[in-house]
Structure 1
């Protein structure tokens, strides 16, 4: 199979931005009651976009205490769970272990390690979309930016400031909320556009 080239930084910069979810379509989940409501909304989904955020580490030997935030997204709405609350941790763990709710995202291996260490659960029925593009001939991992460019011919905007912000804060900023939600939302959008069937159960 010939190797397909990944979009370059210069090619990405020339693309029009992808319209993203706004605050009105994002639910921040930080209490047990909110977690119970979110779980009811999400547990019947066949596929959800999925990602995590962690407070950054600053030296090589430092072990991350994350994830501090786990986000899930349907096609039109997203939920951002803050894991300092026990109810949120329980709801997130149940969704991650669900064999009927598929989770799709990009570069999830590191997320899995942190989830096992922090939550004590192993995510099930998870599809890393990088593997899908690799099977289609892309030698280099596309990631969310590259995948959005390939599938939608649009540029996915990610705030570097939000990337390296303190995700352990009890009060997330608007830019953090939008950033986290859209990471998961972009994954479900790419999955949907590819026309893939829902992943079958697999423990990763």
Structure 2
């Protein structure tokens, strides 16, 4: 958002090279609704596959910071940590299909993550899934992630809900970074944090329960990576709500 100044308004400005932000001396009677538009240092460069492969592994959440919500205690913990957050990292996992005409009937795992914790919800404890669906339908909370169009369709088909306030970070990064194409979580983590997000568990059987430790860490960090990317964009001055 920018303020509409009168032609007679004279503003003195300085530019912070480190943070890419312009600072203005604003006349007192013009201060209402003025928001500075940051410099995002665009265009950004998407790292090559070879460059990403040479990066250190993504420093994500450990098992100790992840809760698989399979009982009432886990559900109450999810409520206490996730309620009131402005934005939540979001992703889903579904059983992969390998044969023509085969359907997945996913999602089989719903992941929600914030700054220091992630929660996984599965149909094996439906009260947890019901809470996750409440979050997805809450217009006051932004859900941030990658490739969300497909996820919205899955929830519409399986649970007859319309997920709201969804921010697809692939689209945000394309516009903000002036990129030719949209990027996924792996490329985004490489661009912003110079780390390599591991995707090796993507094609595992997500409908089988209990999940393995490897699956739990993978799923949680997909959502957590989205949260970190969103936080980084906000710190750069990007208003995420504009991209719903």
TM-score (norm 1): 0.90
Seen in structure 2, the aligned counterparts of structure 1 residues 113 and 27 have a Cα distance that, compared at 3 Å, is: same
1:43 has 2:43 as partner = no
Query: Which 5+ residue runs of structure 2 have no aligned equivalent?
Result: 1-41
Q: Secondary structure, in 3 states, of the residue corresponding to 1:70?
A: strand
Q: Measure, in 2, the Cα distance between the counterparts of 1:63 and 1:148.
A: 31
Partner of 1:81: 121
Offset of 1:198 from its aligned partner? 4.7
Alpha-carbon distance in structure 1 between the residues aligned to 2:223 and 2:49: 22
- Residue 3 of structure 1: how far off its partner (Å): 7.3
CA distance in 1, matches of 2:58, 2:150: 26
Choose the corresponding residue for 2:198, options 137, 140, 157. 157
Deviating beyond 4 angstroms after TM superposition, the runs of 4 or more aligned structure 1 residues are 2-5
Contact preservation (8 Å) 1:36, 1:91: no
Once the two structures are overlaid, the 10-residue window that deviates more, 28-37 or 105-114, is 28-37
**TM-score under structure 2 length normalisation:** 0.76
Q: 1:200 to 1:120 in 2, by over 3 A?
A: farther
Distance 1:75 1:40 in 2: 14
Instruction: Give the superposition deviation at 1:86.
Output: 2.0
- Root mean square deviation of aligned Cα: 1.9
- Residue 241 of structure 2 aligns to a residue in which SS? coil
Q: From the superposition, tell whether residues 201 and 88 of structure 1 become closer, same or farther in structure 2 (CA, over 3 Å).
A: farther
1:173 is the counterpart of 2:212:
yes
- 2:47 maps to 1:7: yes
Higher helix share: 1
Alignment partner, residue 187 of structure 2: 146
SS of corresponding position for 1:171: coil
1:110-129 aligned at under 5 Å gives the runs: 110-129=150-169
Larger RCO: Structure 1 or Structure 2 (Cα < 8 Å, ≥ 6 residues apart)?
1
State whether structure 2 residue 236 is matched by structure 1 residue 194. no
Aligned residues: 199
Q: Which moved more, 1:57-66 or 1:72-81?
A: 57-66
